[in-house]
Chain A
Amino acid sequence: MFPAGSKAGEKLSVTFLGDAAGPITRGIEVPAGPIGSMHRLFVGDDGGTCPNALPFRISASGNALEQEPNDEPAKATAADATLAFNGVIERPGDVDHFRFAAKKGQTLEVECFARRLRSGLDPVVNVLKADGGNLAGNDDSKGPDSVVRIDVPEDGDYLVRVKDHLGRGQADFVYRIEIAPPAPRLVLSIPRIDRFSQTRQTVFVPRGNRYAVLVNAARTNFDGDLVLDGGGLPPGITMTAPPIKAGQVQVPVVFEAAADAEIGGKLVTFEARQVNEQDPEGKAGVRGHFENAADFVLGDPNNAVHYSARVAKLAVAVVEAVPFSIELVPPKAPLLRNGALDLRVVVKREPGFDKPVTVEFPFRPGGVSAAPSITIPPDKTEAVYLVNADGKAATGNWPVYAIASGDIGGTAWVASAPVTLVVAEPFTAAALKRAACEQGQEARIACTLTHPRPFEGQATARLLGLPPEATAPELTFTKDTAELVFPVTTTGNSPPGNHKSVVLELVTPVGGEPTRISAGTVELKIMKPQGPTQPAAPPAAQQAAKPLSRLDQLRQQAKGGTP
């Protein structure tokens, strides 16, 4: 239909194109609706109503319509950039130009809607300078439709040129151009567990227990802190969601259901709002919400998604209690860069439930890694989940959780309460000197320690990765220790060579719990001993065995020996 969009509340006349009997004109009033949404219009006449609706775009402003001829820049239809430019590429080879004014420094997005309005046009849009020189262009950034961003170099007039990619044109090749500064956009999602799958894209919390998900925030055209709002969760469910800081894209969100919460659920609008110091509740900032994307039809080529739908709701439900729960023991010690920490996971099983429980650790701050899962066998109630941090891990206080699954005749999922994991700089740094010795001798590996962060109490240092038959004792040190020397004892069977795998491990207690780091690697060289010099072979025996050359024979003869 033409024009295919306008302002909410406006009354205008639209023409429906494509009917066999000819174009149909109707007066419509644009309903209220969010700016940028598509309203669906049905057209009917005495014979009935057309069964398929046509999309009509609700936009911020009214319309400017093209005036033919506008095939050349000089004949461009002049219009205000706040209006949407509407036109038709009506015959093969048709090109439309519009002229608008812009100011230096503006950043504008020029977006063309055609296929999204079910027009057969495949638009190619160019933004030209007033003299016709090209500034920017685009073909297929939004499916077949185009969008191009320009940074306006100077005050003045600019042109938009629209044509069909293949040079086609017909009476229903309608298009609509909207020019606006880039709009910020915020969308929340739960990371997919499996491709094309809805597995765990919902929140289902067992009574008296917890469940958790990771939430991804996709910001476009802005950055900033975000807070999450559960948006009317079912009664009995509480939510713990940390703010998503600027630059962050993922946080863990833990839901807890009271033991007497009613079984049932609802679809909620799970929202995020941009906040800052001036607007701590996000009344004026960018808003976005969770969208559940469901892939319905896959096909050629390569499992392309042919049809999918997005629903702006999150399903949250209270489900029946399950016979196990888990706790992540809050670690007292921090996870240090280049270090490792043992997190303790405790599972409580109801009597009668004696199955193994598989635990995962989904939320990992930057630089932190862990095994994909660990299993707690039926006869154990505790396990250690080892987490590691690399040298550039993101320091700070991070909320983390563990999630566990077990077979209750189907798979049940429960989560732990959130727990704070502190990722910090190491307390101690070490510089190691390499050492060498002969087999059986002692080598001395010296470590110079510095303590950028003081700690209380005694820490332990040990060498790992020593070659076989080489040992070194543990040493202790405090925040004031400047040097440690490891006496490395070797035996006659210690393998000779350059051993580069020796690692210094430092274990520092914090709050009674140890946190360890790898403080560096060092090389240990073990050499074969140089034995005492061999006694010389008896000369006489040698000479007797050696056959005489003719010259020697003659010499012997001359000396009076036997010929």
Chain B
Amino acid sequence: MTRAPSRLTSAVLAAWALVAVAADAATLRVFPPAVHLSTARDRQSLVAQLIETDGLTRDATGAMTVTVDDAAKVRLDGRALVPLADGDTAVTVSVGDQKVSVTVHVERAGQSPDLSFRLDVMPVFMRHGCNAGSCHGSARGKDGFRLSLFGFDPEADYHRLTREQPGRRVNLALPAESLLLTKATNAVPHTGGARLKAGDDAYATLERWLAAGATNDPGPTPAVVAVELHPRGAVLDGPGATQQFTVLATYADGTDRGVTSLAVFLSSNDAAAKVDPSGLVTAGMRGEAFVMARFATHTVGAAVISLPKGLAYDWSPPADAGRIDRLVDAKLQTLRIVPSESCTDEEFLRRASLDICGVLPTSDEYRSFLASPDPKKRAHLVDQLLARPEFVDLWVMKWSELLMIRTVPNQVSYKAMLLYYGWLQDRIQANTPIDALVRELVAATGGTFSAPATNYFQHERNTLKTAENVAQVFMGMRIQCAQCHNHPFDRWTMDDYYGFANFFAQIGRKQGEDPRETVVFNSGGGDVKHPVGGRVVPPTFLGGESPDLAGRDRREVLAAWLASPANPHFGRNLVNIVWAHFFGRGIVDPVDDVRVSNPPVNEPLLDSLARGFVESGYDFKKLVREICTSRAYQRSTRPNATNAEDERNFSRAQLRRIRAEVLLDVMTDATGTQNKFKGLPLVARAVQIADGTTSTYFLTTFGRATRATACSCEVKMEPNLSQALHLLNGDTVQQKIRQGGVVQRLLEAGRTPEQVIEELYLRTLTRKPTEKETAGLMEIVGTDPAARTPAALRETLEDGFGAILNSREFVFNH
């Protein structure tokens, strides 16, 4: 449901904004802010948190004193409120001299409804791991007993418990003898061990349900519409500092319930912050963790930051920061990290040229940039690079990977692939707003030759996989898991999955006049069926509504929503992809794995960038300009003591290996050679290769994407031995140096060996060699000009050239 992310947004915003609250003393917050108790069994525990002026938080749950205004309506049991009589009252929570009043509303206190299978029993299975994937929730169950994974099919679970083997799992005459209980407590051999303890609440719930006849719910039960985790975040001071959390579930009938004892707690970073089954978080070493609670089909989280105890921190960001820097720096401040200083002009020149255009500056460009006195020269360099055609080439390549442009034997012919690539190139060259491009693509109709965007539906012809690709590429979400069961770590249920997939169920295909051409059209009929019950889920936007489709092309309707501000995930995803290109890491990482359990490292930054991008009309160049002119982008890779371990919060630039195509291109440029790729003239560059299946040994070894899938992991950046050996011994480096004759030409032009060395460094590393480097090379060259032959000199200098091309400094973007 759409409420959860925006709650998270505001929650995290609230947490970071605390720094700006310059209150004189710590502020007390009590959660939940309002308590609703309905029926006699309802309980709600309170949690208190003190927020210091410097942003640190303290767990005040143990220190709070709770006084009940009207003892007739409600009473205290530990720190839980228990309903006594209907009505409204309040409780006052005081910690030290701070007081907070919490309203309490009680209804139906006299009623004790029957235990519900879905509302009371199923959560016990989830909480205690009974229906987890490693236990009875696995596809074949365990030891002959199967439950639906995370409870996606309560009706079938009820059947399996009570009817699948009559008399076996439940014993209505002696409930405590039911296998359900005896196995769970390991009173009889249970491979899963003891999951419940006789006498605790969960056991009591099951026993009471069995004693009442193990009945099924008589009618539909209200669904859980939202789950809240309180407090919204924590900044813990020192290892061992704790914070108690509480979980609240809201139902479709308007009631809510404290479900802390029924929720599953997880932490994304146990080293930084561990969470125990009662919801108590304990800080560990310095770091950031995302603590999550899962209940029913909802997962919600809160960011917990662990800081070293009593850390002294004194850094303020510069006042003239732009939007990106304000937001990045705010997070750094919360983390008590000091960012690295700005990179040098040389480093910026090389980095921006590689990131924006995939080229290295020539030595002339180097000299003029370094010599320029313009205080805004970096911004002007960005503008110049943005105007070059190489910028378009680079992004056409990246989009080609997202759209999987390649030949597929007997499915996508070379001609179709080329036309598809040409279409993409046309659109990006014309600076078509990305939303228009995506709308044209998703709703594409016609022949794969005459309307090349339709090739998107020829590369992948399976309805479900097409839906998965669209979600992954345009919204950054992997909904694949929800094909067979509700997503374990995200909000997507099978209904969401099949509702979304149903937009692609009416794609018709037929052969065109040319045997290679396929005509893609709206067939006007057909649906995908939900595997449970074979029912049809009406086409539903992910996390949105089911639109009225009467007489309309489903893909057109989807395209209009997908690439519009009505779909919040689109703008965020695009911005994230662009950010990841320039920083080596997205604000959400991996870029196509957005899920509740993988939150953005800086939600306000992502949100702000996305809004700006959408408001600008999806102006891509504007976004790139803003990123590249920010201080965050221009930070040095050199770490300092505070940020040495931070790789996620953009406190310093990361060392990034240059990707395969760009590496080949810059090596080719530096050596003055050319490559011949299939279907391209000699002057073409590797980033311009249209077909994903066209590659060379060099490109494949350095991780070129085959584009067989839409995953961001197609481009492989991991190092391997073949890469090192190929650079050293393979036929690329040595041959190019020899063929290109750069050294030869420089010597013939009358340059001295020292000058040649300087030129080689400039055109590859964008810096001059240090004295030590020059001296070292000259030692091998020999200092007596008379004693060396031209051939030997050339050979030695070429060897030096080869050594530079093999260096990590060349191969990495720094």
Interface residues, chain A, CB within 8 Å of chain B? 115, 122, 139-140, 143-144, 165-166, 299-302, 304-306
If A166-B446, A166-B521 touch, does A300 touch B510 (CB 8 Å cutoff)? Answer: no
Whether A301 pairs with B516 at a CB distance below 8 angstroms is: yes
Minimum CB–CB distance from B454 to chain A (whole Å) comes to 11
Q: Which residues of B contact A143 (CB under 8 A)?
A: 513
Minimum CB–CB distance from A195 to chain B (whole Å) comes to 16
Whether B411 pairs with A301 at a CB distance below 8 angstroms is: yes
Whether A306 pairs with B410 at a CB distance below 8 angstroms is: no
Selected contact of B515 from candidates A115, A122, A139, A304, CB within 8 Å: A304
| B514 CB–A CB distance under 8 Å | yes
A305 to B446, CA, bound (A): 23
The 24 sampled A-B contact pairs (Cβ below 8 Å) are A115-B513, A139-B510, A140-B511, A143-B513, A144-B513, A166-B445, A166-B446, A166-B519, A166-B521, A299-B515, A299-B516, A300-B413, A300-B414, A300-B516, A301-B409, A301-B410, A301-B411, A301-B413, A301-B515, A301-B516, A302-B410, A304-B515, A306-B514, A306-B515
Whether A165 pairs with B521 at a CB distance below 8 angstroms is: yes
A115 to B512, CA, bound (A): 11
Q: Which residues of A contact B445 (CB under 8 A)?
A: 166
Minimum CB–CB distance from A452 to chain B (whole Å) comes to 55
Minimum CB–CB distance from A118 to chain B (whole Å) comes to 10
A144 to B411, CA, bound (A): 20
Whether B519 pairs with A300 at a CB distance below 8 angstroms is: no
Minimum CB–CB distance from B813 to chain A (whole Å) comes to 40
B512: nearest residue on chain A (CB-CB)? Answer: A144
B513: nearest residue on chain A (CB-CB)? Answer: A144
A305 to B514, CA, bound (A): 10
Q: Which residues of A contact B513 (CB under 8 A)?
A: 115, 143-144
A305 to B413, CA, bound (A): 15
Q: Which residues of A contact B410 (CB under 8 A)?
A: 300-302
Rank and list the top 8 A-B pairs by shortest CB-CB distance, nearest first.
A304-B515, A301-B410, A300-B413, A300-B516, A302-B410, A144-B513, A166-B521, A115-B513
Q: Which residues of B contact A115 (CB under 8 A)?
A: 513
Q: Which residues of B contact A144 (CB under 8 A)?
A: 512-513
Q: Which residues of A contact B510 (CB under 8 A)?
A: 139-140
A300 to B512, CA, bound (A): 13
A139: nearest residue on chain B (CB-CB)? Answer: B510
Interface residues in B467-513 by Cβ distance below 8 A to A read 510-513
Minimum CB–CB distance from B54 to chain A (whole Å) comes to 65
- Chain B interface size, as a band, is 10 to 19
B451: nearest residue on chain A (CB-CB)? Answer: A166
A301 to B512, CA, bound (A): 12
Minimum CB–CB distance from A125 to chain B (whole Å) comes to 15
Q: Which residues of B contact A300 (CB under 8 A)?
A: 409-410, 413-414, 515-516
A345 to B512, CA, bound (A): 52
Q: Which residues of A contact B446 (CB under 8 A)?
A: 166
Minimum CB–CB distance from B135 to chain A (whole Å) comes to 47
A301 to B413, CA, bound (A): 8
Interface residues, chain B, CB within 8 Å of chain A? 409-411, 413-414, 445-446, 510-516, 519, 521
Q: Which residues of A contact B511 (CB under 8 A)?
A: 140
Minimum CB–CB distance from A361 to chain B (whole Å) comes to 37
Whether A122 pairs with B413 at a CB distance below 8 angstroms is: no
Minimum CB–CB distance from A73 to chain B (whole Å) comes to 19
A301 to B516, CA, bound (A): 6
Interface centre among A144, A299, A301 (most CB of B within 10 A): A301
A178 to B233, CA, bound (A): 76
Q: Which residues of B contact A166 (CB under 8 A)?
A: 445-446, 519, 521
A140: nearest residue on chain B (CB-CB)? Answer: B510
A306 to B409, CA, bound (A): 16
A144: nearest residue on chain B (CB-CB)? Answer: B513
A302: nearest residue on chain B (CB-CB)? Answer: B410
A306 to B513, CA, bound (A): 10
A140 to B519, CA, bound (A): 12
Q: Which residues of B contact A299 (CB under 8 A)?
A: 413, 515-516
Minimum CB–CB distance from B455 to chain A (whole Å) comes to 14
Q: Which residues of A contact B414 (CB under 8 A)?
A: 300
A300 to B510, CA, bound (A): 15
Whether B519 pairs with A122 at a CB distance below 8 angstroms is: yes
Minimum CB–CB distance from A303 to chain B (whole Å) comes to 9
Q: Which residues of B contact A304 (CB under 8 A)?
A: 515-516
A304-B516, A306-B514 known, 11 other contacts, Cβ within 8 Å: A122-B519, A144-B512, A144-B513, A165-B519, A299-B413, A299-B515, A300-B410, A300-B515, A301-B413, A301-B515, A302-B410
Q: Which residues of A contact B515 (CB under 8 A)?
A: 299-301, 304-306
Interface centre among B409, B411, B513, B514 (most CB of A within 10 A): B513
A304: nearest residue on chain B (CB-CB)? Answer: B515
A139 to B521, CA, bound (A): 13
B445: nearest residue on chain A (CB-CB)? Answer: A166
Q: Which residues of B contact A139 (CB under 8 A)?
A: 510
Minimum CB–CB distance from A123 to chain B (whole Å) comes to 12
A144 to B410, CA, bound (A): 20
A165 to B510, CA, bound (A): 11
Minimum CB–CB distance from B513 to chain A (whole Å) comes to 5
Minimum CB–CB distance from A245 to chain B (whole Å) comes to 37
Q: Which residues of B contact A165 (CB under 8 A)?
A: 519, 521
A558 to B512, CA, bound (A): 108
A143: nearest residue on chain B (CB-CB)? Answer: B513
A408 to B437, CA, bound (A): 67
Minimum CB–CB distance from A305 to chain B (whole Å) comes to 8
A165 to B450, CA, bound (A): 14
A302 to B409, CA, bound (A): 9
Q: Which residues of A contact B514 (CB under 8 A)?
A: 306
Minimum CB–CB distance from B556 to chain A (whole Å) comes to 12
B450: nearest residue on chain A (CB-CB)? Answer: A120
A299 to B414, CA, bound (A): 11
B514: nearest residue on chain A (CB-CB)? Answer: A306
Minimum CB–CB distance from A547 to chain B (whole Å) comes to 45
B410: nearest residue on chain A (CB-CB)? Answer: A301
Q: Which residues of A contact B516 (CB under 8 A)?
A: 299-301, 304
A306 to B446, CA, bound (A): 20
Minimum CB–CB distance from A106 to chain B (whole Å) comes to 31
Minimum CB–CB distance from B443 to chain A (whole Å) comes to 13
Minimum CB–CB distance from B147 to chain A (whole Å) comes to 46
A180 to B162, CA, bound (A): 69
Q: Which residues of A contact B512 (CB under 8 A)?
A: 144
Minimum CB–CB distance from B72 to chain A (whole Å) comes to 72
Q: Which residues of A contact B521 (CB under 8 A)?
A: 165-166
Minimum CB–CB distance from B610 to chain A (whole Å) comes to 35
A237 to B389, CA, bound (A): 72
A301: nearest residue on chain B (CB-CB)? Answer: B410
Minimum CB–CB distance from A487 to chain B (whole Å) comes to 63
A144 to B512, CA, bound (A): 7
A46 to B519, CA, bound (A): 40
A139 to B519, CA, bound (A): 13
A304 to B521, CA, bound (A): 23
Q: Which residues of B contact A140 (CB under 8 A)?
A: 510-511
B413: nearest residue on chain A (CB-CB)? Answer: A300
Q: Which residues of B contact A301 (CB under 8 A)?
A: 409-411, 413, 515-516
A300 to B409, CA, bound (A): 8
Q: Which residues of A contact B411 (CB under 8 A)?
A: 301
Interface centre among B515, B516, B519 (most CB of A within 10 A): B515
Minimum CB–CB distance from A43 to chain B (whole Å) comes to 23
A449 to B572, CA, bound (A): 90
A300 to B411, CA, bound (A): 8
A301 to B518, CA, bound (A): 11
Minimum CB–CB distance from B210 to chain A (whole Å) comes to 57
A307 to B414, CA, bound (A): 18
Minimum CB–CB distance from B93 to chain A (whole Å) comes to 66
A306 to B514, CA, bound (A): 7
Q: Which residues of A contact B409 (CB under 8 A)?
A: 300-301
Minimum CB–CB distance from A168 to chain B (whole Å) comes to 8
B518: nearest residue on chain A (CB-CB)? Answer: A301
A539 to B521, CA, bound (A): 95
A115 to B511, CA, bound (A): 14
